[in-house]
Amino acid sequence: MILPTVAVLVGSLKRVSLNRLLAAEIARLAGDRLTFLPLDVAALPMFNEDLEEPRPASVAAFKQAIEEADAVLVVTPEHNRSIPAVTKNAVDWGSRPFSQNSWSGKPAGLIGISPSRTGTAVAQSQLRSVLVNLGTHLMTSPEAYLVHHDGLFDAAGKLTDPRTEQFLSGYVDSLVGWIGRFT
């Protein structure tokens, strides 16, 4: 059996970010139900229509990875109560040029973690509007705005809180089911 492939956009450039740790834990919890393919957002130049033709190699590889994946998972922090620039830049490149929207028709999930008491709720609300407008089939439930606290991840990056792990397991189950509706 071929497992569905999920292109994972982590909206952080930090090498060891909370959202990168979260993405790794989601992959661990999915086990042998999904294959995860990290997208390289660090290699993308800032979006500029002048760069659309000829397309930079990093953009071509990014778009191809999305197009070849069965689904997309966006794991993003929140910056200043909004979508981080790196996340929005990646979304913009994936949608361009106008007639070559790589996101269209993809089942998608959205999740994030932040030390803020509201987690990533505002960024996700804004990003939800953008992703739906781009034609993704965005999973709307459960919503997942995780709040980071000291000790949530151990030194190896594994979750330490059983309640958070249980919640994430449910999120992954929903994501697997959602993707299965389209693949």
**Predicted pLDDT at 2:** 85
Number of domains in the chain: 1
Q: How many CA atoms lie within 13 A of 41 on its CB side?
A: 25
Look at residue 1 and tell me whether its pLDDT is greater than 90. Answer: no
CATH number at residue 21: 3.40.50.360
> Mean pLDDT, to the nearest integer, of 9-38?
97
Q: How many C-beta neighbours within 10 Å does residue 53 have?
A: 7
Boundaries of domain holding 83: 5-180
Of 21, 11, 4, give the one whose Cα is nearest residue 152: 21
pTM of structure? 0.97
CA distances from 86 to 6, 56, 83, 156 (A): 19, 17, 8, 26
Q: Indicate the residue type of 120.
A: T
Look at residue 30 and tell me whether its pLDDT is greater than 80. Answer: yes
**Chain CA centroid to CA 105, Å:** 16
* DSSP code per residue over 115-132: SSTTTTHHHHHHHHHHHH
pLDDT level of residue 31 (50, 70, 90 thresholds)? very high
